[in-house]
Amino acid sequence: MGMYVAFLAVAGLIVLAFLGVQAAGLHFLFGALIPYIAFFLFVIGFAYRVFLWGTSAVPFRIPTTAGQMQSFPWVKSNKFDNPSNGFGVVIRMALEVLLFRSLFRNTKSEIHDGRLIHGSDKWLWLFGLMFHYSFLIIFIRHFRLFLENVPGFILIIESLDGFFQAGVPFVYLTDLMLVAAATFLFARRVLLPQIRYISMAADYFPLFLILGIAISGILMRYFIRVDITGAKQVIIGLVSFQPAPSAEVGVIFYIHLFLVSTLLAYFPFSKLMHFGGVFLSPTRNLANNSRMVRHVNPWNPDVHVHTYAEYEDEFRDKMKKVGIPVEKE
C-alpha cells in the first residue's frame, strides 16, 4: 500500500508541475518562488535537526563495536573497528562515510535444509555505493549551470564521466548508474518479503522522487531537448537572487526543477538526513575507551544518600525497644 501511495504522490507532483506551467503559465511560481521556499526549508530544517542531535545528551560511551577492544598489551585489538582514541575514530568515520564499511560487512541469513546459514551479501553495499557516488558526481556536474565560468575540475569530471562516448550528446555513465542503483534499491524492497514487510511510504517516496529527477534529467538531455542557454540563465538568476523564469525553456525543465525542489524541502524531515546524522551518531563518533577512562554522567542530579547514622538517629528509640544494638546511646 505504501508503495502505491508514494508512486501516486510523485506522479501527482509531475502532473501538478505540468499543469501549472503548461496550462496555467505559472513560470514564476515553479521557477522561482517554490525553489526559494524549498531551499529555505532545507537550510533551516537541516540546521535544526543537526542542532537537536548536537545538543542531545550522550552521557556514556556507546559505540557500535565490530572487533576486539583495546585491553591488555598482549591482546591484539582492532584499532579501527573498535577505536580507543581520536585517530581511530577519524579513520573509522572516513571508512564509514566514504566506503560504507559497516554495509560492506553485511551478511544474510537463510534457512537451507532446516539449517540457518549465514553468508556474505555485497550487492546492497555495491549498489548503495554506486547510488551515492553517482548522485554526488551528478550534483558536482550541475555546478556548471550555476557559474558563468566553469572551473576546470568540473570539466575534468565531465570528461571522465562521459569517457565512453556514445553519440551526441555523449552519455554520462553516472546517469545510467544512478537509475540502475535506484531501481535495484526499489526492486529489493519489493521482491524481498522481509524488506517489503517493514517498508512504508516514507521508504518508497524518496526512491520514486529521485528516479523522477533522474529520468526527467535524462529526458531533457537526450530526448526532449530544451534551451540549455535559457535554462542556465534561469538557474543563474536564482542563485544571484534575480529570478527570471522563461517560458521558452520548456515544461520538462520546470518539472525537473520542481522535483528537485520537493526533494530539498523533504530532505530534513526524512530518513535522508542520515547524510548529516552519521557524523553525529554516538555509535560511530565515540572512542571505546571505557576500560581506560571512567565516564560519569554529568547530567545526573545530586542524590541525597540516607546514611546509617541518619537512619539510626531516626529509628534509635524503636531499635532499642526491640533489642537492636545501636552505635550511639
pLDDT single digits (tens) 134-150: 999 999 999 988 887 88
Cβ of 140: how many Cβ atoms within 10 Å? 15
Average pLDDT for residues 233-260, to the nearest whole number? Answer: 91
Angle at 197 between CA 195 and CA 199, to 5 degrees: 70
Average pLDDT for residues 181-199, to the nearest whole number? Answer: 93
Rg for the chain, CA atoms, rounded: 29
Q: How far apart are CA 227 and CA 224, in angstroms?
A: 10
What does the pLDDT look like over 55-64, one tens digit per residue? 888 878 888 8
What's the whole-model pTM score? 0.86
Summary mean pLDDT of the chain = 89
Q: How far apart are CA 60 and CA 229, in angstroms?
A: 56
Identity of the highest mean pLDDT range in 99-103, 117-121, 290-294: 99-103
Banded pLDDT at 65 (limits 50, 70, 90): confident
* 156: Cα separation from own chain's centroid: 27
Banded pLDDT at 87 (limits 50, 70, 90): very high
Residue among 207, 216, 217, 211 at smallest CA distance from 272: 207
Residue 297, pLDDT above cutoff 90? no
Residue 123, pLDDT above cutoff 80? yes
Ramachandran area for residue 281 (φ above 0: left; ψ -120 to 50: alpha; else beta): beta
Average pLDDT for residues 223-233, to the nearest whole number? Answer: 86
Average pLDDT for residues 291-301, to the nearest whole number? Answer: 79
Residue 226, pLDDT above cutoff 90? no
Average pLDDT for residues 299-324, to the nearest whole number? Answer: 84
Residue 167, pLDDT above cutoff 70? no
DSSP 69: P
2-303 fold? Fumarate Reductase Cytochrome B subunit (1.20.950)
Domain boundaries of the chain, sorted by first residue: 2-303
Q: How far apart are CA 63 and CA 286, in angstroms?
A: 6
H or E stretch including 118? strand 115-120
Banded pLDDT at 117 (limits 50, 70, 90): confident
Of 88-102, 260-274, 288-302, minimum mean pLDDT range? 288-302
Q: 38 or 70: which carries more pLDDT confidence? A: 38
Residue 189, pLDDT above cutoff 90? yes
Banded pLDDT at 165 (limits 50, 70, 90): low
Residue 166, pLDDT above cutoff 70? no
Q: 54 or 263: which carries more pLDDT confidence? A: 263
